[in-house]
Amino acid sequence: MKDTCFVVSCSMSRMRAQLGSQLIPGVKRVIECAPAAIAARALPGRFFGAVRSLHPVCRSSAVIPGCFLSGFNMTAAQMIAALCCASALLARAFGADHVLPAPTSLDYKWISLFTLNLTWSWNRPENLPPSCVVEYFIHHVDHKKSNAKTTQTYYSDDYLTEEVPSDWWELSVQTTTSCSGWNRSQPVIKTITRPKKRVELVKDFKCYIDSKSPNCSWIPVNPSTKVDVSYRYHGEKEEGFKGVQKCADAYWSHGRGGCFLKANSFLPVLVVAESPTGIASFEAKLVIGVTELSVKEEEGYLSLAWSLPAVGQMCTWTYCLWYKECNKDIPPQCYDIKGNDTKTIPYKKCCEYKIQYNLTTTAHCPKVTSDNSKVTSYGNTMPCIQTNMVAIVLPILFCFCVFLSIYCFNRNKDILCPKIPNHFEIKSLIRDKKPQTGIVMPEPVENTESVIAIPNKCLYEA
């Protein structure tokens, strides 16, 4: 059968009927049906040219909107390839996504020394459905600051020198939507320049917070440079960005500058230090005094309890504890404590305990820390002998003393316990004793004494 290529107009159901009646052995037919809605539009010429190129015979076939039936001799592999190519070309011709327009008139201004306000414009396409919500994606180029999204045509944020360590950087804004068939726009990039040069002016900046006004202090990098300190509590409302206040009641003590905040709030404090040469902006370190520790002995344990801080009483506090047991360092242990909770540690009565600790808030509250506490001592200062040691050592020591006494006695028994002769042996010794030759033994001279008794008087006469 001669290869032919022809087109007929039909509906989808009619095309299926023609397939069943016209397919005969040796003839392969490829059928593509374009929906009526698509057929109503002007089909691109490149699409039909590509379809005709699937088989040389079809290059001369006429194509009209609607359904077309092209019949020609093809192998099974050729038919599958033709179907795949036709489907891909149809999807490319009729299913291409739209691209959202990019924002225009992107500009910025500094509403404080560390708060930036971005503004832009955007023209909504006429064919974008009204139900599609448009968002603007703000990306910080070459910096780790978090990206952001907004549905407004403006955006404000804090750019502290400690988190964006540069005097200039780039921001990009893109238009996005969740509606299918619409891709995000090309990014619009803007170069941001700080209002003043970034310099290091202060070190060890911290604010002690309590029930009264917070007291902030710092070490100046150059004591001869005048530094003005301003602050603002962290907030999400736009009006809060403009509420920067001067630090009041400045003072100087022990090599540290200081001032007091006008209001007390358990919120992060954003600080900007300004000098004629530049600025430094950062989040202040919030510090509280350590709370008092009470130690109580309970059946082989020490019960530890702390008084509540003056601020953040609704927060959970993390107490990190480290101590020495008999001058041996015990690894630090941290506990989450809320309210009047207590913690226990093992206790040995023969040891002295030296305890230190600090505290900080958990992730659900603003970050507040404390300095390390002073050493709290508890227990015996002199080590004692353990009971089991006494039960072992004392019997050994007693037995040793007994054996040593027996040994010493046996060696010196002749001295300690000499043999005493009886009276028969003494008489025998005296009887057998003879005077030595050449030795004249003097005769004993008998002394006579007389005693004359006189009434009421004693006289002694030789």
Percent of the chain with pLDDT over 70: 65
Report pLDDT for 259: 92
- At residue 309, the pLDDT reads 86
Overall fold of domain 289-379 = Immunoglobulin-like (2.60.40)
The whole-number pLDDT of residue 452 equals 52
Indicate the average pLDDT of the chain. 75
Q: Per-residue pLDDT averaged across 127-152, rounded?
A: 89
Q: Report residue 79's pLDDT band, with 50, 70 and 90 as the boundaries.
A: low
Q: Which class is domain 202-287?
A: mainly beta
- Assign 314 a pLDDT band (cuts: 50, 70, 90): confident
Poorest-confidence range of 69-73, 144-148, 291-295, 451-455? Answer: 69-73
Tell me, yes or no, if the two domains 104-193 and 202-287 fold the same way.
yes
Domain ranges for the chain, please list them. 12-96, 104-193, 202-287, 289-379, 388-431
* Top CATH class, 104-193: mainly beta
Neighbouring C-alpha atoms within 13 Å toward the C-beta of 204: 9
**Mean pLDDT of the region 382-387:** 61
For position 421, what pLDDT does the model report?
66
Q: Tell me which of 54-63, 309-318, 443-452 is least confident.
A: 54-63
Distances in whole angstroms, Cα of residue 102 to Cα of each of 127, 172, 255, 441: 16, 11, 54, 152
Structure token pair of residue 58? 């079809």
Least confident of 28-32, 96-100, 326-330, 423-427: 28-32
Extract the tokens encoding 318: 């993390």
pLDDT at 76: 60
According to the model, what pLDDT value does residue 49 have? Answer: 41
